[in-house]
Structures are given as C-alpha cells and as structure tokens.
Amino acid sequence: MPSIHKCKGTRVTTKHILITGAGQRIGYALACHFLNQGHQVTLSYRTERPQVADLRARGARCLHADFSTDEGVYSFIDHIDALNPTFDTLIHNASSWDSEKHSQDIASLFDNMMQIHAKTPYLINMAAPRWMQQGDIIHLTDYVAQKGSAKHTAYATSKAALENLTLSFAQKMAPSIKVNSISPALIMFNDGDDEAYREKARCKSLLRSVPGEQEVVNACEFILASQHMTGQSIKLDGGRHLI
C-alpha cells in the first residue's frame, strides 16, 4: 500500500512508480515530476545519459535494460522480482522510432518494433500482478495507432498492437488495476529540427501547438486521479484527426 507522509500540514500519499524508458525526453520528464512530488521512482534506461545520472542523484532507482530481446526483458523482470517491490503505477514509455526508409532489413525492423512496443509491455504486464495489488498501468502509444503511417508502417502497427493490449489488460486486471493509454501526436521537437520543419509540423494540427512533455505529465495525472476509467485512450493530437 502507498505510504503516508506529512508535508506542510498536508497528508500526502507516497506512491512507488515504475517507468520504462525514462532516460530522456517524456520518460525523463515523468520521472522528474514524480520525484518532485516525493514519490519513489524505479525506472529503466537503455543508454547512460546525463539525465539518468541526474535521476539517480535525486534518488531514483535506475535499472539498465535492453528490451530488444526476450532475454533482456526477462532479465529486467527478474531484477524487479529480486527487489520484491510493491508498485502503485506502471508506465510503459520505452520506445524506438525507426522507419522503413532507414532500414535495409524490413523484416527485422517489424520484429524490433513489435518487440519493443508490444511484446515487452505484454511480458512485463503479465508479471506485474506479483508487484501490484492495485493501481494503474499506463501505455504510451501514438496518434498513428489509429491513423496508420506510410513512412513508419512497422512502428504504427506496433503501437496499434499496444493500444489493443490496453483493452485486453483492462479486462484482465480489473477491478483492482486500471489500464489506460495515452496517444500523443507531436509533443516536442528535437534540438536539431529546423524552423521550416517545425512550422510544417505545427500545421498538421488544428491547434498548431507543440505543447511539450508537461502535456503527457498532465494526462498521466488525470488517469491516476480517475476512479472510473479503464480501457481508454487519451488522445493528445491537437485536433489532427479533424484535418
């Protein structure tokens, strides 16, 4: 069960949150947010980055994991089992953005996308009842799961599979664990994106906004606060579906 501590006269519930792929960008923002709230955070990362060192220094338990193989996923699960934790929230953020254009082996590309975005969450979720008696599982999917993508076909297919896993695990985990998805379109730019690309990207949505990581943080908090929502997908697309 979550522990209780007092902060400036207010009783605050301290949760233990597991985040996959928290070494940069949205995953890093989520980890920072929950640490700032005083929660306990355990996370996976694939590459050692300054952000990982920062999270480690701030008290997060940082576990190296390679989800590109079944062995890597099972090794991560074994590591979690050895900790004998009790998690309140599991957020699947680990992702890989690869496309057919940059791959000479499209069969391997497809397998890799399904491995990271579908099989890894599937295997971890199947183990999760050992670590969670109640709480939330959140899948970070993608806008293209509903729309498809001519340029990132394998990626879009794997994210659609993750959307479907949300429905299946919502049924499997009820009533003690809620399972929902967050489906973002463009949330943030890369540092190297030039202004021409940025303007083109903005014009793809009605709101013409690129809101930043806080938009996903807010969606996670909405899901965690809800007591009556499971098997749903929150779409953060700025109205792209209407264009």
Catalytic residues: 155
Alpha carbon 56 to its chain centroid, in Å, reads 19
Q: CA dihedral defined by 103, 108, 114, 116, rounded to 10 degrees?
A: -80
Q: CA dihedral defined by 147, 241, 103, 94, rounded to 10 degrees?
A: -90
Which two three-digit tokens encode residue 137?
Answer: 């599982």
* Residue 181 CB neighbours (<10 A): 27
Q: How far is CA 55 from CA 7, 48, 52, 138, in A?
A: 22, 11, 5, 21
